[in-house]
Amino acid sequence: MLTAFARAFKTPDLRKKLLFTLAIMVLFRLGAHIPIPGVDYQVVNSCIKAVGGNQGLFGLVNLFSGGALLQLTIFALGIMPYITASIILQLLTVVIPRLEALKKEGQAGQTKITQYTRYLTVALAVLQGTGLVATARSGSLFQQCPDRFNIVPDQSIFTTITMVITMTAGTALIMWLGELITDRGIGNGMSILMFLSIAAGFPGALWAIKKSGNIADGWVEFGAVILVGLAMVALVVFVEQAQRRIPVQYAKRMIGRRSYGGTSTYIPLKVNQAGVIPVIFASSLLYIPSLVVQFSGSTSTWANWVRDNLVKGDHPIYITAYFLLIVFFAFFYVAISFNPEEVADNMKKYGGFIPGIRAGRPTAEYLSYVLNRITWPGAMYLGLIALVPTVALVLFNANQNFPFGGTSILIIVGVGLETVKQIESQLQQRNYEGFLR
């Protein structure tokens, strides 16, 4: 593998792409440490030390921003507005006929949908930035910090607008950097920036586990976490690469004097067809009751029940609800992202058929049957992976952003595999040995 890296850097155009990607990554991490105007940075640092690993309701967004959210930097919102906008547009494509027609138009339609995603990203950034500034001004960003009300000393409307505009511009800049990586670098730009944001928190999280350990000054716990992490990575790689290949045969067609078709291929159906989306959906949905209770300050019966059962990540009700929501959203997302009827119609249009299955409706029913069968283990796998941080919370006294589990490990491994495959394909085009032998 090291030889493959050396050969990749010896190839001039591939070396330029790799160095360009690394330069954008350095710029992205630099922006994650530049504070926005109007914030007392010393108070923010003291509050972060006071809160420690207990990041409360903002843990997921802070994870995707690489720790920039709680530091209130220009990249505080991170990649989250773009992710949310992409998911919303993907869901609306199924509902709105105009978007569905654009999706079928090919590259021109996809360009239009991408433009809509950019506009929605900026709008969501304004909304989320306003909410973050209001949270910081009210002292709700750090519940356990005594100086939390002094984070924004000047609470004038001009300062508030400046902070919101700065964070919105930071989100737009992140979006532009991601598109630059996609066009001129290696891999998908947004995915790589998301990968970088999550990986940036690994050293601190691992060191916090070492410091909180009691056996042999924490080195035993540290080693155990590393072993668990390696096992988790191996499991995620195995499942993410697993797929059910449905054979497809194309009949021969005579057009003039030439014969077309007669080839055989397959439809790859991944076991984890939904990716990390169900985990994000379930986490976001479980945050809503806690956010409502936190900002309302209600002391009613239902508010106390939410505080007792849905705020603590290790509560049995929270664990059960989290697992069931992940399973539900796995089936939901697969249902809207893969249309068996459309695939069957396209196969029939081009003379394709599955051996032993009639074309048309029987093919759609067969694809739906296979998809439901393989989605069950994929949904169970997602639920178990997502619960790893909860187990770590009990065993190692770790925080909810335990590095080897949940959303973080799924994104890290998934993006890593896709990026390595792209480098591999470019190396094979030049008759070089790749990474995967």
What's the pLDDT at 32?
Answer: 84
Residue where the block lists tokens 């945050």 = 287
With residues binned 3-state (H G I as helix, E B as strand, rest as coil), the percentages for the chain, rounded to 5, are: 70, 5, 25
CA dist., res. 120 & res. 107, Å (int)? 20
Q: pTM score, two decimals? A: 0.79
Q: Can you name the CATH fold of 202-404?
A: Preprotein translocase SecY subunit (1.10.3370)
Closest-CA residue to 185 (of 7, 1, 28, 22): 22
pLDDT value at residue 59: 62
- Specify the amino acid at residue 185: G
Q: What is the pLDDT of residue 120?
A: 92
Burial of 178 (0-12, 13-18, 19+ CB in 10 A): buried
How many Å apart are CA 206 and CA 73, to the nearest integer?
A: 23
Using the Cα atoms of residue 35, residue 40, residue 43 and residue 44 in order, give the sign of their dihedral. Answer: negative
Q: What is the spatial distance between Cα 90 and Cα 113, in angstroms, rounded to a whole number?
A: 9
Supply the pLDDT for residue 430.
Answer: 67
What pLDDT shows up at residue 281?
81
The dihedral built from the CA positions of residue 209, 210, 211 and 212, taken in this order, carries a sign that is positive
**Range(s) for CATH 1.10.3370.10 in the chain?**
1-200, 202-404
Pairing mode of beta strands 264-270, 352-353: unpaired
69 token code pair: 């959210």
pLDDT for position 123: 92
The CATH number given to 1-200 is 1.10.3370.10
CA distance 40 to 153: 7
> What 3-state DSSP class applies to 161?
helix
218 dihedral zone (left: phi>0; alpha: psi -120 to 50; beta): left
**Distance between CA 248 and CA 376 in Å, rounded?**
24
Query: Average pLDDT by consecutive 10-residue portion of the chain (437 residues)?
Result: 68 85 90 84 76 56 67 83 85 82 81 89 90 80 73 84 91 91 86 84 75 67 79 85 86 64 79 83 77 69 74 74 88 86 84 83 89 90 81 59 68 83 77 54
- Name the nearest CA neighbour of 48 among 136, 134, 155, 129: 136
Q: What is the DSSP string of 312-327?
A: STTSHHHHHHHHHHHH
Residue 60: count of CB within 10 angstroms of its CB: 21
| Alpha helix (H) residue ranges in 32-139 | 41-51, 59-64, 68-71, 80-95, 97-103, 107-138
Contact 327/377 with Cβ under 8 angstroms?
Answer: no
pLDDT at site 31: 85
Asked if 385 and 284 touch (Cβ cutoff 8 Å), the reply is no
- 13's tokens: 């155009």
